[in-house]
Structure 1
Amino acid sequence: MSLLLKHMGLGVATICVALVAPFAMANNQSSPLATNTNELTEDDASVPFIDLFRAALPFEDARPWLTGANVQLDANGWPARLNGQIAGTRFLSNLPAQALPGGRYTVLYEGQGKLQYGGDAKLVAAGQGQDTIDLFAGSDNKFDATLRILESNPNNYVRNIRILPPDGICANNPFKRVPNAGACRGNYQPFVQNYEQQIFNPDYLDYMKDFKSIRFMNMSGISNNPQSSWNQRQKLTDATWGGSQTNRGAPIEIQIELANRLNAHPWFTLHHAADNNYVMQFAQLVKQRLRPNLKPHVEYSNETWNFIFLQGNYVRDMGMARRLDTNKNRAGYRYYSERSVEIFRIWEQVFGGSQRLVRILSGWTINEEVAETVLGHKDAYKSADAFAIAPYFFGDHQSIQLVRNLDETFKLMTDDQYRYSINNVLAFIRKQKAIANKYGLQLMAYEGGQGLVDFKTTHDLQMPNPLLYQANRHPRMGSLYTQFLEGWKREGGSLFAHYSSPRTYRRYGSWGSKEYITQPLGQAYKHQALLNFIRSRPCWWAGCQQ
């Protein structure tokens, strides 16, 4: 059984229950790997939703260059009054042409008004509540598209905009996009008519179906987000779930629904400032809607030891306020530990115990003091099931800036003179595993993979970025992934959450196992290595296939 979101637009979301065909239960419970989701933005090359407007830039975030300063928005973010100005958004940006099918898209909306399209979106026909647009990648082989509301009746303003592709699925296979009814045996379901039930891009479901767990940290908008109360959470009725760090995030209902459809354990990360009521409501919603065979993996925030994040500074301040240590850093580690246990106890209260939960404490791969402090503080380890780290191999940050050819780039990851070579990172894992063993916990990876990135560059084509992209596209990277994952298994690690889902290679990093969601497997050597490891190394730790 799966909870389907019957209505995702304006008004109160209606929930119905529908049978899911047996094939739709992905055969992923023997998988040893999880994956991290991406942030919801208009340039996300994983394209998780059928409706492209779900990840559009919010009208508020588009001020003043697309949305006028005097435009008034309603509680859900829709422009309720234009006041003589224009409200606009960008719904595709810098997206590889192959990530989406070019063609004739349908734009549905409620209310009375007039829409205008820009960039690679061209109006073909306008009608009341429905426009037809052509959407094809531009000469740069990328999608960039905008939408503007030029006119809107304030008594019945334009809202609930949906941008839907021309194709669909066969009802017996939600993991495959098909162009028309001719590809099905009488069970064709076009997206324009069934988007409310289907919700997720079939290409995205197909990618996700091989992973045992889905870590929702990015999709839920956790990092640098000070959200604290339940009424601040992202809602099904929000105009869009994309945007800046403090706005974006898929509703919890959507996260649960994706886990249900994939038969994957959801790995939830909770906002660093979430109050107890928020935590309790979150847990109750999960208990109500998650398939009973799935275990919520619960983690408090993301990398609170990392003080480049808002959450890192928050836990330090809270730790000092509680007088947990005279050292601000250690006070932060101790507060993270305490607050994690408080959150775990709320979830245990809601779920009637810890049997169905996986309670995760996290630390810093290279720092044993963090692990000892987090796990040992007030015996926090007794309230946890796993300790998680983020092992990345890349050489070192200074040497990356100096590479001038592909061989030098690969040497960074294989020569042990570099601190973060594969062998040296495996040694860090070995030490962290010993600490996890000491406290009787599994060792997990909340993130991990290659980490080739030069944080000093200012544009995508600045050296050494082209070499880093080239290395990530090379068959040798696939071999290194295999070597690294085999080492993770050998050192005693358990669930490994790769970072990340398909995303475009940029100066910010080449994190995706693919560069876009539909990239052929023959071109994606990292993803080949992940799939081969899943198929050749069924999960090996006790209870992993229950």
Structure 2
Amino acid sequence: MALIKKFSCHAVFCILCLISTTSSALAARLPVGMNTNEVMQVDSSVPFVNLFKMALPFDEADSKLTRGNIQYDADGWPQNLNGGQAGTNLLHWLPAGTLPEGNYTVLYDGEGEIQYGDDAQLVSRTPGKDIIRILAGSDQYFKVTLTISKSSPENYLRNIRVLLPGGICASNPFHRVNSASQCDGDYRDFATYHESILFNPDYLEFMRPFKTIRFMNMSGITRNALSTWEQMPRLSQATWAGKEGRRGAPLEVMVKLVNQLNADAWFNIPHAADNNLVKQYADYVRQNLRPHLKAYVEYTNEAWNPAFTQAQYTRQIGLQQKLDTDPMQASSKYYVKRSLEIFRIWQQAFAGSKRLVRVLGSWAAYPKLSETLLSYNKAYEQTDALAIAPYFYVHEKQQGEVRNTEDVFRLLKDDRNAYSIANVLDRVQKHADIAKQYGVKLIAYEGGQHLVDRKTRSTRDFPNPQYIGANRAQPMEALYVEFLEGWQKITGNSLFVAFSAPRTYQAYGSWGVKEYINQPSGEAPKFRALLRFAH
């Protein structure tokens, strides 16, 4: 019997491998979008030419890097060291290949001295400019620290920019080159043109196939209580990284990205945003988003999910406003109420809804919520799309059966597993029926595999080696193709926004469709599957 079971598992694995190299090549086009990542020193999607924008804020670094009674200016630069030092993790545990090895230019204003550590070494130094050499360590990761060890209080060291080597040919901003010899007279080196060349060409090239970019992560709205326009992230800030509730890229950056990609933008409005913030946000997008591009507008993210403070906020306000005595119902009703208010503000800014996609976010595992959201206050009349996040994974009831990656793939096809591909698609069908009943589109704000055990703390803990192995194995491509074809058939070719841009695989999940921005496609089965539909 054990032999039969082993043979069966191996057969499933082999069949999936065969499918991924044959029928998946025939996948039809589908509107595919991509979720951005949080701006952090560990973000292996590396969106920006100026790496310092993803550095850990000085005041969040541990005592090995920052110590003493440091005084900071409004943008987070150390204004007075007071005999201490201010340091940061510039890059942290990024796989080799994420970035080019070589000489990086460091520019700064003011007077002082910077020290570099781990995988960075100083090559040369002139006032306001250092050249450092960055090479991946023997562990095949990039780790770079940067420390301001001296700074004049009268003209303190600030505005640090750490710039990629090389540049672009102006005629092709999607391709990084090493020197002018690779261009036809239009070379633009990053050290000189970094103010106009904001985005890493490798990031642009990765994002290029995706026609809608969702900014929930990059905007930093998760567990973020910002409520006024003045609290929004600023271009002048030392870094756009930091802990939850602090990090986030400015709106100007997000709009510039989609304009350059010629992609629609999906904006998530902070849960505590006041009306002026919403109005200023909408006005800026109307004035600066290319006129043929659409703006998806969604109030917060997963207001139904108790893991997030936004869910606690909507529940509290819903109860205070006596929208319902049941906490979950009160939360859902306030979410709808505030969403409709936000939609109206955006419609006023845009003089109508033609360029807008007004989104209500629901819970993929609970179709009844979709009914509540669309019906309350006739929300469907002012809503264009119902969005869910269909994820497939191994339910904890079957997790004990996992011994290897073949078991993972077997269980993802096993109807006993409540979150097998077939069972997840059944729930997608229920949401689609509800959306059709109310005359709105069903779209996916996130989706894909969700292989994670939240109780683990290390990639070595069971079942993480098996889950990470499955994400790297070729059969995952076939499962994604099957899943997307099912989505396509049920929804009539509706938008599917994958989760997420490249990020390393950790105990808290293997979310990236690549593990790092320059990972070869041959090593990224999820990315290959998406490209079959996006191209």
> TM-score band, normalised by the shorter chain?
over 0.9
Moved more, 458-467 or 327-336: 458-467
CA distance in 2, matches of 1:441, 1:173: 39
Taking structure 1 as the reference length, what is the TM-score of the superposition?
Answer: 0.91
Letter in 2 for 1:206: E
**In structure 1, what is the Cα distance between the partners aligned to 2:213 and 2:356?**
15
1:40 paired residue number:
39
1:378 aligns with 2:377: yes
Counterpart CA distance in 1 for 2:68 and 2:378 is 53
1:339 to 1:133, Cα distance in 2 relative to 1, 3 A? same
SS of the residue 2:192 aligns to? helix
Match of 1:337 in 2: 336
Q: What is the aligned partner in structure 2 of residue 204 from structure 1?
A: 203
Secondary structure of the 2:59 match is coil
8 Å CA contact 1:263, 1:294 repeated in 2: yes
> Does the Cα contact within 8 Å between 2:68 and 2:85 map onto a contact in 1?
no
The residue identity in structure 2 corresponding to 1:512 is G
- The 3-state SS of whatever aligns with 1:491 is helix
1:320-469 equivalent positions in 2, closer than 5 A: 320-400=319-399, 402-469=401-468
Task: Find the counterpart in structure 1 of residue 173 from structure 2.
Answer: 174
SS at match of 2:58: coil
Counterpart AA for 1:136: L
Shift of 1:153: 0.8
SS of aligned partner of 2:455: coil
Contact persistence 1:521–1:528 (CA under 8 A) = yes
- Map of 1:177-188 to 2, 5 A cutoff? 177-188=176-187
Is there any run of 5+ residues in structure 1 with no aligned partner, and where?
A: 1-29, 536-546
Name 1:217's counterpart in structure 2. 216
Q: Secondary structure of 2:329's partner?
A: helix
Tell me if the contact between 2:77 and 2:158 (Cα under 8 Å) persists in the aligned partners: yes
Equivalent pair of 2:71/2:81 in contact (CA under 8 Å): yes
Q: Residue 213 of structure 1: CA displacement?
A: 0.3
Q: Distance in 2 between matches of 1:166 and 1:381?
A: 50
- What letter matches 2:55 in structure 1? A
> Which residue does 1:72 correspond to in 2?
71
Render the CA deviation track for 1:481-520: whole Å, top value 9, x for unaligned.
Answer: 0000000011115110000011111111111111110111
Query: What does 1:254-333 correspond to in 2, within 5 Å?
Result: 254-333=253-332
Matched position secondary structure for 1:477: helix
Q: Structure 1 residue 517 and structure 2 residue 512: aligned?
A: no
In the alignment, what sits opposite 2:503?
503
Q: Deviations over 1:427-446 (max 9, x none)?
A: 00000001101110000000
TM-score (norm 2): 0.93
Please say if residues 402 and 464 of structure 1, whose CA atoms lie closer than 8 Å, have aligned partners that are also in contact. no
Q: Which amino acid aligns with 1:234?
A: P
How much has 1:137 moved relative to structure 2? 0.7
Kindly indicate whether the alpha-carbon contact (under 8 Å) linking 2:109 and 2:159 is maintained by their aligned counterparts in 1: yes
Shift of 1:141: 0.3
Residues 139-170 of structure 1, C-alpha deviation per residue, up to 9 Å, x if partnerless? 11000111111111111111110001221111
> Counterpart of 1:543?
none
Counterpart-to-counterpart distance in 1, 2:313 and 2:470: 37
Task: State which drifts further: 285-294 or 452-461.
Answer: 452-461
SS at match of 2:502: coil
Q: CA deviation at 1:381?
A: 1.2
Moved more, 391-400 or 464-473: 391-400
Question: Matches of 1:254 and 1:55 in 2, distance apart?
Answer: 13
Q: Secondary structure at the match of 1:99?
A: coil
- Residues 401 and 454 of structure 1 are in contact (CA less than 8 Å); yes or no, is this contact kept in structure 2? no
Q: Deviations over 1:386-425 (max 9, x none)?
A: 0000000112134335511111111121111100000000
User: Could you report, residue by residue, the CA deviation over 1:222-267 in whole angstroms, capped at 9, with x for unpaired residues?
Assistant: 1111111111100000100011111111100000000100010000
Could you tell me which amino acid in structure 2 is paired with residue 108 of structure 1?
L
State whether residues 63 and 69 of structure 1, in contact with CA within 8 Å, keep that contact through their aligned partners in structure 2: no
* Secondary structure, aligned partner of 1:277: helix
Q: Secondary structure at the match of 1:382?
A: helix
2:102 touches 2:134 (CA, 8 Å); kept in 1? yes
Deviation at 1:125, TM superposition (A): 1.6
- RMSD of Structure 2 on Structure 1 (CA): 1.1
Moved more, 508-517 or 365-374: 365-374
Deviations 1:282-325 (A, max 9, x none): 00110111100011100000001001100010000010011011
Q: 1:77, 1:323 → 2: CA distance?
A: 41
Task: Supply the distance in 2 between the matched residues of 1:247 and 1:57 (Cα, whole angstroms).
Answer: 11
CA–CA distance in structure 2, aligned partners of residues 274 and 79 of structure 1:
30
Asked if structure 1 preserves the Cα contact closer than 8 Å seen for 2:30 and 2:488, the reply is no
Contact 2:68 / 2:83 at 8 angstroms: preserved in 1? no
What are the superposed Cα offsets for residues 31-80 of structure 1, whole Å, 9 maximum, x if unpaired? 51000000110010100001110100011222544222510100011111
Provide the rounded CA distance (Å) in 2 between the counterparts of 1:285 and 1:66.
38
1:134 is paired with a residue whose SS is strand
Measured after TM superposition, the shift of residue 458 of structure 1 is 1.2
Q: Residue type matched to 1:165 in 2?
A: L
Residue 485 of structure 2 aligns with an amino acid whose one-letter code is E
Partner of residue 242, structure 1: 241
For 2:425 and 2:309, the matched residues in 1 are separated by 29
Counterpart position of 1:12: none
**After the TM superposition, which residues 152-163 of structure 1 pair with which residues of structure 2 at under 5 Å, given as runs?**
152-163=151-162
Answer yes or no: is 1:111 the counterpart of 2:143.
Answer: no
CA offset at residue 368 of structure 1?
2.0
Question: In the alignment, is the contact (CA less than 8 A) between 1:400 and 1:453 conserved in 2?
Answer: no
Amino acid at match of 2:528: Q
Amino acid at match of 2:345: I
Look up the match of 2:101: 102
Amino acid at match of 2:263: A
In structure 2, relative to structure 1, the CA distance for the partners of 1:38 and 1:509 (3 Å cut) is same
Give the structure 2 partner of residue 150 of structure 1: 149
- Larger deviation, residues 385-394 vs 513-522: 513-522
Secondary structure, aligned partner of 2:66? coil
Q: In the alignment, is the contact (CA less than 8 A) between 2:68 and 2:82 conserved in 1?
A: no
Question: In structure 1, how many angstroms separate the alpha carbons of the residues matched to 2:400 and 2:212?
Answer: 35
Give the residue type in structure 2 aligned to 1:295.
Answer: K
Please state whether the residue corresponding to 1:197 is helix, strand or coil. Answer: coil
Counterpart of 1:98 in 2: which secondary structure? coil
Aligned counterpart, 2:59: 60
> Where do residues 190-201 of structure 1 align in structure 2 (5 Å cutoff)?
190-201=189-200
1:463-478 equivalence runs, <5 A: 463-478=462-477
Q: Please say if residues 220 and 252 of structure 1, whose CA atoms lie closer than 8 Å, have aligned partners that are also in contact.
A: yes
Secondary structure at 1:340 match in 2: helix
Quote the Cα distance in structure 1 between the aligned partners of 2:134 and 2:423: 48
For 1:300, the aligned partner's letter is Y
Identity, % of aligned pairs?
Answer: 52
On the 8 A contact 1:400/1:454 being kept in 2, the answer is no
Name the CA distance, whole Å, in 1 between partners of 2:187 and 2:45.
24
Cα displacement (A) at 1:171: 1.4
State the 1:217 CA deviation.
0.3
8 A Cα contact 1:103 1:166, kept in partner = yes
Partner of 2:529: 529
